[in-house]
């Protein structure tokens, strides 16, 4: 097992239906966009997304002292970018993610549509960013997406619709 990656048994098998969902396909696009040197070329999807899966034991083993590494920060941004893309698909308006994280691993993630803040999330312990499974990651994203779309539905004029 590579440091920071979930064991193969924690990742869904290649033929899992989760890989056909819009969110996981978008996460794959966002993660591939981080790969400026082509290191993920030819790798299977579970391997590419393995960095988002951390067991409780793996999270506990990660130190919270020191700066979060660049790869973890990029994963946090990719997660919120994927949610923003799905919001755009649903409402037809540009959704803009903004992620601000201090060097201690605390911060905030916002997504705006027009002049409307549709998601406002406090981030803590970014050093330990990850989910128990891709299904749990998708469920978390679905919750944020549902709330964001509900806010847009309540205030369409502020969202520019």
Average pLDDT over residues 102-125: 95
What pLDDT score was predicted for residue 62?
85
Q: Residue 86: which domain range?
A: 17-154
Contacts of 77 (CB under 8 A, 6+ apart): 97, 99
In Å, how far are 5, 32, 98 from 68, measured between CA atoms?
16, 20, 18
More confident position, 57 or 6: 57
Q: How many domains does the chain have?
A: 1
Flag whether 55 is in a domain. yes
Average pLDDT over residues 85-95: 96
Domain harbouring 68, CATH code: 1.10.3100.20
Per-residue pLDDT reduced to its tens digit, 117-138: 999 999 998 999 999 999 999 9
| CA atoms within 13 Å, Cβ hemisphere of 75 | 21
Three-state SS at 7: coil
Model confidence at 101, pLDDT cuts 50, 70, 90, reads: very high
Flag whether 138 is in a domain. yes
What pLDDT score was predicted for residue 10?
57
DSSP letter for each residue of 78-109: HHHHHHHHHHHHHHSS-EEEEEEE-TTS-EEE
Per-residue pLDDT reduced to its tens digit, 31-78: 999 888 988 888 999 999 999 999 999 988 888 777 899 999 999 999
Flag whether 2 is in a domain. no
């Amino acid at each position: 097992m590579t440091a920071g990656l979930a064991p193969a048994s924690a990742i869904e098998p290649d033929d899992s239906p989760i890989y056909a969902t819009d969110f996981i396909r978008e996460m794959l696009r966002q993660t591939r966009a981080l790969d400026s040197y082509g290191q993920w070329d030819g790798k299977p999807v579970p391997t590419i997304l393995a960095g988002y899966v951390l067991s409780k034991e793996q999270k506990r083993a990660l130190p919270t002292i020191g700066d979060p590494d660049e790869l973890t920060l990029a994963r946090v941004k990719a997660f919120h970018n994927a949610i923003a893309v799905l919001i755009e698909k649903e409402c037809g308006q540009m959704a803009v993610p903004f992620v601000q994280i201090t060097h201690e691993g605390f911060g905030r993630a916002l997504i705006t549509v027009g002049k409307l803040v549709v998601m406002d999330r406090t981030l803590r312990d970014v050093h330990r960013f990850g989910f128990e499974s891709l299904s749990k990651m998708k469920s978390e994203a679905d919750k944020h997406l549902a709330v964001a779309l509900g806010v847009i539905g309540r205030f369409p004029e502020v969202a520019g619709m």
